[in-house]
Structure 1
Amino acid sequence: MDILRISDLHIGFTVHGLARDVVKGVSLRVPAGRTVALVGESGSGKSVISQAIMGLLPRAGGVTGGEILFRDPLTPDTTIDIAALPAEGKAIRALRGGRIGMIFQEPMSSLSPVHTIGNQIEEALLLHRPMSKAEARGLIETMLGRVGFKDPVRAYGLYPFELSGGLRQRAMLAMALICQPALLIADEPTTALDVTIQAQVLDLMRDLQAEMGMAILLITHDLGVVANMADEVVVIYHGEIMESGPVEDIFRRPRHPYLKALLKASPHFDMQEGERLVALREARPRPPAAPRAMPLPNAGEQAPLLSVRGLRKAYTTGSRSFFGKGTQQTVLAVDDVGFDIRRGECLGLVGESGCGKTTVSKIIMRAVTPDAGSIVFDDGRTQTDILALDGEALRAFRPRVQMIFQDPVSSLSPRMTVSNILREPLVIHGKGGAGEQAERVRTLMEDVGLDVRFLNRYPHSFSGGQRQRIGIARALALDPDLIICDEPVSALDVSVQAQILNLLKDLQAERGLTFLFISHNLAVVNYMADRIAVMANGRIVEIAPRHALFSRPVHPYTKALLRSVPFADLDRKLDFKLAAPGGASDSSHWDRVFRPDPEGEALTHLPLGGGHFVLARPGAELREVA
């Protein structure tokens, strides 16, 4: 029996008086108890289809043809055409959140910041199933326990900002499932999550699906998730279905050129040395780079470009009353972190959210002041103590280290044109006159593959990938020696991600750039980095050349991260139960040689040869542990 059957669906939007079709004759089905994955890039129409099923289309949009038939297993003789229901009528409100649940992509923006988790779930429950408050609270606490909250009674009274990304997504899952829906729509439910948390959330969805017998429509662009979760796959492009079928056929016998290209665009661990990602469509060709004024010195003969030693940063959280009482807690975000970045290399920094990666990058950028440690920048002529810089000296140094941010939307001013965004750093640092700056801006646009005719546009008129290119151009404006890339592709589709990663590799080769590449996507880091540092609980637990880390991981945290990566390969299914029992960073699951001995010596980085170091007790026999 099909819970959902969509037939010849057409959805149109009217913008500035012009009608435009965004979904063009889509047909798909979601059988009872099965998972159907809807796969495609941003702008392909995936989320619009989910909004139409939920009756949540924006005012400018509407269903212009076709059917969305929903058959509830509780009333199998009745079929409801959702497309024909009034947008704000009682019928659609009874289905939405009741018999059809939905998990949204960004839990922080879809949860109310001023209501507790318990209140928000209670509202959804009482709307569809009237009962006493005490009975509702009991059901909600039971559901919070089922979705993985260790203390459901406490979780009931927490606000969304008090939860991590993974726990917020679990709260969204509890809200979607509290009324035991027949159909769950999951719109990119794990895009912003770490691999270990993603594995836990996906495992939870599978368990609850088996327990409740519900159908799932999974909307995603991550083919690794699709290979591990879906029974059937529907591939959509520009509002039209390109290919659909059982997951076995889609991955083993892809037929459509678009699907074949999509499979080649994802970075994976089996890539050969020098192999490039195949972007679905290459960006505008870039002109060859001008020769560098100064030849790059041999990295092996030089001191590191950046030497970080003994970084430590603690944050105090909580509240203190007028009389000095309160609950304050000190969290050690960065604990004795040290590493070198050699000129011209890309050092990857990986770890779960909250491990301290971004704090380290902010300390290097001088946006956060550490409690202890040193950072020395060596350009081959002078050594600069970054933490000692102040005033004009700090301002003069800033062009040497630049940053590409995670979210290209919020990191670009919506009130400035692209031309002004790219000129701003040149104006601030007094680089050239107005004519030279204008020429420099045009060169930057060409360097990142964008048309110079776009210079007078505002950021909102660009796609996510184009906005990230503008962010890269801004970072290049002052010719930095070191660029910190903080999750630069985590918000992008597979196809756009391939373009951006290839662009960064090309720019590195042409300009001799040095990167600190921060990410939780291990496949992306494997493609970009020469060496990789793995961070957990504020410390670097393992650092090694890329090949050594992925072929011979030693630390249990590194192994847990690698076990949690979903492959787009049906022959390498993810064992969800082994992914991260109790959480990868929970040191109680680690072998005792990797845990600090309260009465013994402190942990130290033990050399394993070939630049491979692991954090363990002094004298530990690590080869046997590995």
Structure 2
Amino acid sequence: MAKDLLRIENLRVSFAVHGQLNEVVKGVSLRVPAGRTVALVGESGSGKTVISQSIMGLLPPNGIIHDGRILFADPAKDGKVIDIAELDRDGKKIRKLRGGRIGMIFQEPMSSLSPVHTIGNQIEEALQLHRPHPRKEARAITEEMLGLVGFRDPRRNYDQYPFELSGGLRQRAMLAMALICRPALLIADEPTTALDVTIQAQVLKLMKTLQGEMGMAILLITHDLGVVANVADEVVVVYRGRVMEAGPVDDIFRRPQHPYLKALLKASPDFDMPEGERLVALRDVAPAAPPLDLRREAGNRPASTALLNVRNLRKTYGSKHGARVVAVENVSFDIMRGHCFGLVGESGSGKTTVGNLIMRARTADSGSVIFNDRAGPVDVMGLDDNELRAFRPRMQMIFQDPVSSLSPRMTVLDIIREPMIIQGRGSDAEQKHRAVELMECVGLDPRFLSRYPHSFSGGQRQRIGIARALALNPDLIICDEPVSALDVSVQAQVLNLLKDLQASLGLTYLFVSHNLAVVHYMATQIAVMARGRIVEIGPRDALFHRPAHPYTRSLLKAVPLPDLDRKLDFDVAFTGGASDPVTWPEEFRGTAPGSLEMLDLGGGHFVLADRACTARDVTAA
């Protein structure tokens, strides 16, 4: 058995709030063996990030370790054991450990990196703090590390700023910074939460590879059980500051004992879920019956007809070099009334831009969006400002980030009333009554209307966003990554709520996401986007069981599932990206400019391929 590199014994951490101690970590004990990966799993608020801050000596000033030990056996000092809990958090000893012997990757790479310093300067600073080198030599070591974590041109990348890099590359830069001093322990706090599945697969593969090369241990903090099943050796499950269950990964997934762990495993969407099966939320909040006027409208909406026809959308942006960058190219699809249409792709594929173009939040270069209203078709692109303002209630949007999409200066009542005020709907009393009905409709207590967004959890804030989107009785709601920032259990609550509202109100959704398991649960028709174009479109079953395009296949292979018998295919994690046409077979690249077109595979299933190809050519490729 490997010797313990880190051992936490009966750790208790409290925060001083208004003169009182609020205990958030309640007697946690765990071990991280040398060279192994231990996953610390739990929802937001479970205390897992506070545990990592305690190890790094990064607790806020009001954070107090009032019991327990954090024992670190540093291999560089012949295994001499240091109790981190006893060290002065601003002293030399902890600063020497932090970044030197213990590295950390933070959850959000954009806010963790300085926007005014280059990537190379920031990584080199970590090296010079702990292992000073001559300037030229330090740059060479930094460039070597950039190459090690998968940057294609380290010399050029060294001089780039964070805003010039994609999310995946920023996370690689964070990894390089954490590893530049060759630490014995790497703490990875939700390192892949904000990343697409293919980029996530790349980062996870990279972490496993570097772990093998450097012999370091990893403490992986996450709520994604799919990631845990694919990379962890041991698992520790925490809930409200206590360890619920711990053991080898095989026991945790094959023989779960604690009800909380069993509930977490059932809360994750899965490709094998039968039609009509619901996710099991840990704390399912039953919404009240929707208001009568909403239900009457739902009953009057004819089904089996297209609510929205999108044709040949195109959008380009200018670059600093004067060239035009194509964000959306020739995008066409139909959304049927009462159905959920899924739009899937990596960051930068153009899917959010499509949603913004439909909403007229951005102006398309060309193309049409026809909304089939009860009074007749409406050309959304042709509406002038006054007409667009009057049309807005028919389409609403739920945004990705439930924190930044709600004004911190407005109460929940003001947030939900705002659309009604802008549209001149009802008196003050009617608007307040409507807000109460909507709060009940999304499963929130109307007594919370006088509160501000900061006093709610992420899932509750997203429910407020849903209530705001429903305020004007829309026919179509565009859901832009509505659960990507949420824990798996809260995600299950919100997805179930959206399904319930769709059934009771006859709503139609455009569901934009990079999470294929979520889209599989929500959508009946799905389109896959890569580099601004739809490369495959079809019914859910056809797309998931008979994917034709190599990009779709790569996306499916890159999804980490919480199942030890269906391990992630790390071979999709190649540098260059699954969306790079160079990696596709010739049938999907096109033999000449303009030779690509949508090929009918039958049953409403289409794939973007060379016009010279047949369905047999494509399925055999």
* TM interval, short-chain normalised: over 0.9
User: Are positions 1:8 and 2:4 aligned together?
Assistant: no
Native 8 Å contact 1:284 1:450 kept in 2: no
What is the TM-score with the length of structure 1 in the denominator?
0.97
User: Are positions 1:504 and 2:498 aligned together?
Assistant: yes
Aligned-residue offset at 1:87: 1.3
Aligned-residue offset at 1:382: 1.3
1:347-426 correspondence runs (5 A)? 347-426=341-420
Structure 1 counterpart of 2:450: 456
1:53-72 correspondence runs (5 A)? 53-72=55-74
In the aligned structure 2, how far is the partner of 1:581 from the partner of 1:77? 37
Aligned-residue offset at 1:297: 4.8
In the aligned structure 2, how far is the partner of 1:557 from the partner of 1:185? 32
Structure 2 counterpart of 1:47: 49
Q: 1:29 aligns with which of 31, 34, 44?
A: 31
Native 8 Å contact 1:296 1:512 kept in 2: no
When residues 579 and 621 of structure 1 are mapped into structure 2, their CA distance, relative to the original with a 3 A threshold, is farther
Aligned-residue offset at 1:60: 1.2
User: Are positions 1:295 and 2:299 aligned together?
Assistant: yes
One-letter identity of the residue aligned with 1:329: A
Which runs of no fewer than 5 residues in structure 1 stay unpaired?
319-326
One-letter identity of the residue aligned with 1:427: I
Structure 2 counterpart of 1:321: none
Native 8 Å contact 1:8 1:25 kept in 2: yes
Aligned-residue offset at 1:625: 3.5
Structure 1 counterpart of 2:95: 93
Native 8 Å contact 1:564 1:574 kept in 2: yes
In the aligned structure 1, how far is the partner of 2:574 from the partner of 2:150? 13
Structure 1 counterpart of 2:156: 154
Between stretches 184-193 and 371-380, larger displacement belongs to 371-380
Q: 2:184 aligns with which of 182, 185, 191?
A: 182
One-letter identity of the residue aligned with 1:590: W
Native 8 Å contact 2:298 2:505 kept in 1: no
Structure 1 counterpart of 2:80: 78
Structure 2 counterpart of 1:18: 20
Q: 1:468 aligns with which of 457, 462, 465?
A: 462
Structure 1 counterpart of 2:530: 536
One-letter identity of the residue aligned with 1:605: M
Aligned-residue offset at 1:597: 2.5
Aligned-residue offset at 1:177: 0.2
In the aligned structure 2, how far is the partner of 1:153 from the partner of 1:79? 39
Q: Alignment partner of 2:346: what SS?
A: coil
User: Are positions 1:196 and 2:198 aligned together?
Assistant: yes
When residues 363 and 578 of structure 1 are mapped into structure 2, their CA distance, relative to the original with a 3 A threshold, is closer
Between stretches 71-80 and 121-130, larger displacement belongs to 71-80
In the aligned structure 1, how far is the partner of 2:558 from the partner of 2:408? 37
Report the number of matched residues.
615
In the aligned structure 1, how far is the partner of 2:285 from the partner of 2:178? 39
In the aligned structure 1, how far is the partner of 2:544 from the partner of 2:444? 35
Aligned-residue offset at 1:591: 1.0
What is the TM-score with the length of structure 2 in the denominator?
0.98
Q: Alignment partner of 2:299: what SS?
A: coil
Deviations 1:382-427 (A, max 9, x none): 1111111112111001111100000000000000000110111111
User: Are positions 1:447 and 2:449 aligned together?
Assistant: no
Aligned-residue offset at 1:74: 1.4
Q: 1:489 aligns with which of 472, 483, 486?
A: 483
User: Are positions 1:515 and 2:517 aligned together?
Assistant: no
Aligned-pair Cα RMSD in Å? 1.1
Native 8 Å contact 1:98 1:128 kept in 2: yes
Aligned-residue offset at 1:211: 0.2
One-letter identity of the residue aligned with 1:252: R
Structure 1 counterpart of 2:127: 125
Structure 1 counterpart of 2:265: 263
Aligned-residue offset at 1:294: 5.9
Structure 1 counterpart of 2:613: 620
Q: 1:223 aligns with which of 208, 225, 230?
A: 225
Deviations 1:112-132 (A, max 9, x none): 000000000111000000110
Deviations 1:542-570 (A, max 9, x none): 00100110000000000000010011000
Q: Alignment partner of 1:271: what SS?
A: coil
Deviations 1:321-367 (A, max 9, x none): xxxxxx33321000011111111110000000000001111111111
Which runs of no fewer than 5 residues in structure 2 stay unpaired?
none
Deviations 1:463-519 (A, max 9, x none): 000000000000000011100000000000000000000000000000000000000
Native 8 Å contact 1:190 1:198 kept in 2: yes
In the aligned structure 1, how far is the partner of 2:444 from the partner of 2:105? 35
Deviations 1:62-98 (A, max 9, x none): 1110000001111134111000000100000000000
Structure 1 counterpart of 2:165: 163
In the aligned structure 2, how far is the partner of 1:294 from the partner of 1:593? 44
Deviations 1:15-59 (A, max 9, x none): 111211000000000000000000000000000000000000011
One-letter identity of the residue aligned with 1:103: I
Structure 2 counterpart of 1:323: none
When residues 428 and 288 of structure 1 are mapped into structure 2, their CA distance, relative to the original with a 3 A threshold, is closer
In the aligned structure 1, how far is the partner of 2:229 from the partner of 2:435? 43
